[in-house]
Every structure is written in structure tokens, then in C-alpha cells.
Structure 1
Amino acid sequence: MPLDRPLSLVTGASAGIGAAFARALAARGHDLVLVARRADRLHALAIQLRAAHGTAVHVRPLDLADPSAPQRLCAALAAEGLAVDWLVNNAGYGVPGTFEASAWEVHAAFLQVLLTAPTELAWRLLPGMRARGYGRIVNVASLAGHVPGSAGHTLYAASKAYLIKFSQSLALENRAHGVHVCALCPGFTWSEFHDVTGTRALVGKLPRFLWQRAETVVDEGVAAVERGQIVHVTGRANRAIKALAKLIPDRLGLWLSARQSRRYRQLD
């Protein structure tokens, strides 16, 4: 059964969708563990949430590109007697340019943050959820995981497709134990994501109807995981794009992707 004050762990909580998840869950009566690299932003958000909602907020500045970070985080929480009921695997970013344009160390760090860390956190926290008969895991994937790959940002769509399939299998394995798992798949979302990747000017040319606010994405995500939906694509426009991508032949889909990539992907 749902707890009076669930404890939610949110990665990538310093901005964008992660910060929006923290605010939404605090407003719903959750206590929080906030994880990101930027300690100053986490502490500022924690002060806001404590004042607004009386939320207990545990700030954990960590770089999930460090392979030891998930184990160290979970060990520290266990030592403090903190049992995580909601896990929001949100931390992520993009590597602009083509595959060979970046050093392998850059790609290895990306794969650690986008693939290994969320998978390991789920593996470490899932047994406690099952034992208590209650848990929620939200893996923030992307519409990119449902459509043909694009030139540029080579590993991004691949990593999101993994999170979708991982969430599906995990959900089927655990739905009888009170644990809901959802792959949340937003499209273009207003945040600093594209500022960090240096593609703001490119994506700024896309139609405004393709964009959503982070708060809207989060509201849809919380509702989806609560009702047991395993994969949720946010927004009508994005759901239409996903449906179309399933209907058209792969060859046509890749041709369209090749034409559109230069509009929103940095290729050099």
C-alpha cells in the first residue's frame, strides 16, 4: 500500500525534468533524496521544498559518471536507515556531433550515466521495494527511443530505446509485487538540455507545438506510473509521431530522419 510519506530518489535533480519531479513529488507529500553534480543548485532547491512543503530533503551531490557512485549512494542511504520507495532515473545529457568526433572516454561516461547507473540503482533498490510490497520506478527515456535513429548524438536514441525495453521487462517481473515501472518518453521539453549540448539555435527553429513544459511532462509521468502504465509518451503530438513511426517502412523512416537530422542535431 502507498506510504504516508514515501521517500523518492531523483537523479539529475538540479534542473529541468529532474527538478520538476522533485517539486511535484514534494507537493504530493514525499520526502526526497536529490542527486546531481551541482551541489549549489541541489541545496537551493532543498531549501525551497522544505519551506514550501515541510519536506525532508537529503542532498547527495554525486557524478553518476563515476562507476562507484550508485553503490556508494545506496550504501550511504542504507546506513542512515533511508528506504527508497520511488526511484526516478532522470539524469542524462547529449553528446553532440558524430560518433567519431568524441573521444571514447566521453562516450564511456555517457553510457555510464544513461545506461549503467539507472540499471544499477534499480537493481540495488528493487529488493527493498519488493519486500515492502510497494515501489515506483520511473525511467526517463524519450520519444527518440521510439523513432528511427538520427545522424549526430549517436548514442542518445540507442540509450533511450534501452531504457524503454528495460522498463518493460522490469515492469512485467515486478507488477505482482506492488512495484510499478514506467518508461516516461517526452519529446522536446523546455529545459537547459539543449543549451548544454549547444543545439539551442537549431532546435529553436522547430514548431512550438512540439514543445512541452517540464512540469507537464512530470504530471503525466506521475499519473502514468501510478496507474501502472509501463510506457508513456507525453503529449498528443509526440504520441502521433510515435504512431506514425510504427506505420511507415523502416527505409522511409530513415530517409526522413536523415533529412530532418540537420535541423536539430549538431553533426560536426
Structure 2
Amino acid sequence: MPPSPSLPHALVTGASSGIGTDIAREYARRGKPLVLTARRLDRLEALAAELGKQVPCTVLAADLADPAAPEALFAQTLGRGIFVDTLVNNAGFGVPGRYLSADWKTHADSIQVLLTSVAHLTHLYLPAMEAAGRGRILNVASLAGLVPATAGHTLYGATKAWLIRFSETLDQESRGRGVYVTALCPGMTYTEFHDVNGMREKVSKLPKGIWLTSAEVARQGVEAVESGRVRLVTGRSNKLIAGLSKYLPDALARALLASKAKDFRDAD
């Protein structure tokens, strides 16, 4: 199905795999035209071929580790006359191991993808949403942003905690102008993320009951932002973990999580 610039679109970053792919599928199921972006053009084109039977799809390959990428994406959608009324900030970046096990360029790229590009894309697309009096921003955060810190993956939980607070503040600022912002906080989710960061063997030892499929996480996330929920933790087990982390004394919560962290975090 060819792109229809006159129709409001959902722009999904990190759409080439995992939660991003399934968020795109969920919006396509709801009849929402899509702008799909990620680094891997071949995967984006395959997804567009699949979803293009349901909704108009535009493919824009971009690497959000490049500081110029948000402006380039915005210019391309603007140039095509596409109004983005739904922004899904989903692109991921994991750096396993302790902080000094990776070089600064790797850490800088992770901050660019997980934090700076999110703030930048939001700053670019939000004005038109507010001007139209409608919009949705879905920020894919993590349970890691709500629980005590553990050794390993040093910047991941910190950036996700920032993303949650950013989403909550932005929602308060923009809700009265018709734009709802949601922080989606999944726990363990079946995606290739753990293969990419080399943690598949470790996380596979975790109980199966705490895992959700990316399709289920995507469905819950889209429902949350469309209904105006500010924050959503997916899955009963994850809700329990988040609740215990909130109400247990800090020292006890940190000790409990640290004792289990070796099962899902590489701190070497």
C-alpha cells in the first residue's frame, strides 16, 4: 500500500526487531499508517512489505547513534508531507559488563540512542502534535528504571530511569494540549536484544513465568498510550518486583536484587 501523506502516521524507532516490530504490527492492526525506522534497511523493507497490505508504510533507515539522525528523520517526514501524531521511541542499545569494560565511544553511542535521540525527536515532533491538539508519545523504558541499581550494564538502568521521569513530566506539560505520553516498562521480554548483547545464556536460566512475548508487551504498550496511561509495568511478576522495590527499605531492596543480578547481568 503506497504512503498517504495526508493521514496521521505513527513513527516507530527500532522497528526492525523485537518490541518495535510488534508495536508497528499492533498499530497496523488498528489501521494506523506507519513510518518505520531503524539501521537495518532489509528488515524494515520486509516489515513494510508485510504491513503494507494493511496500512501505508514509509521506510526511513537511520542510525540514532548519529547525532544528526533525528534532524534528518524529521526533515524527511516533513519533506514528504507526513504528519506524525504518534511517536514511538523504542530504539535500544545494551552495553554488557562493568562500566570500564567498554570504551567511551560505545557508552556515548548508548547515551545518544537511549537518551539524547529520544529528547531530540520529541522536541522535533511535539510542536505539531500540540498545534493539532492531539498526539501520542510512547517511550519504551524498562523495569530496570524502577528497581535498585545492580552491577553491570551501568548506563542502561540510569537512562531508563531518566526516560520514565522525562515521560511523566512531559505528560503533565502536554496532556492539556491533547498529547498523552506513556513510559512503557517491560521486564524480561522474548526478543533478540539478549542475543545482541551476549546475555542469552544467562537470562535463559531465569524462570519462564517472568517472561512476556514482545507481541504482548507491544499490545499493552499501545493500549496504555492510547488510553492515556502515564506509566505501565507489564506482567504480574514485574509489577510485584516494582512494588517491592518501592516499598522495601532501600538497603534491603538493593541487597535482594544484587543477590540475583548475576542471573541476568554481566558485571565482569
TM-score (norm 1): 0.96
Other-structure match for 2:194: 194
Match of 1:48 among 41, 47, 50: 50
- Contact 2:134–2:178 under 8 Å retained in 1: yes
> Per-residue CA shift, 1:111-159, capped at 9, x if unaligned?
0000000111011000000011110000000011100011000011001
Where structure 2 has 5 or more consecutive residues not aligned to the other structure, the ranges are 1-5
Separation in 2, partners of 1:148, 1:104: 24
Amino acid at match of 1:48: E
Q: Matched residues, percent identical?
A: 52
- Contact 2:19–2:217 under 8 Å retained in 1: yes
How many pairs are equivalent?
A: 263
Secondary structure in structure 2 of the residue aligned to 1:61 = coil
Other-structure match for 1:124: 124
Separation in 2, partners of 1:70, 1:256: 39
Structure 1 residue 228, shift from structure 2 partner: 1.1
> Per-residue CA shift, 1:1-22, capped at 9, x if unaligned?
xxx9530000000000000011
- Contact 2:142–2:185 under 8 Å retained in 1: yes
- Contact 1:5–1:29 under 8 Å retained in 2: no
Secondary structure in structure 2 of the residue aligned to 1:182 = strand
Within 5 A, what are the aligned runs for 1:2-13?
5-13=7-15
Match of 2:17 among 15, 18, 26: 15
Amino acid at match of 1:27: R
Where structure 1 has 5 or more consecutive residues not aligned to the other structure, the ranges are none
Separation in 1, partners of 2:135, 2:114: 21
Other-structure match for 1:81: 81
Q: Do structure 1's residue 141 and structure 2's residue 141 form an aligned pair?
A: yes
Secondary structure in structure 2 of the residue aligned to 1:108 = helix
Secondary structure in structure 1 of the residue aligned to 2:52 = helix
Within 5 A, what are the aligned runs for 1:198-213?
198-213=198-213
Secondary structure in structure 1 of the residue aligned to 2:181 = strand
Other-structure match for 2:36: 34
Within 5 A, what are the aligned runs for 1:1-268?
5-51=7-53, 53=54, 55-268=55-268
Secondary structure in structure 1 of the residue aligned to 2:34 = strand
Other-structure match for 2:3: none
Structure 1 stretches (4+) deviating beyond 6 angstroms?
Answer: none
TM-score (norm 2): 0.96
Amino acid at match of 2:108: A
Separation in 2, partners of 1:21, 1:121: 18
Amino acid at match of 2:209: F
Amino acid at match of 2:24: A
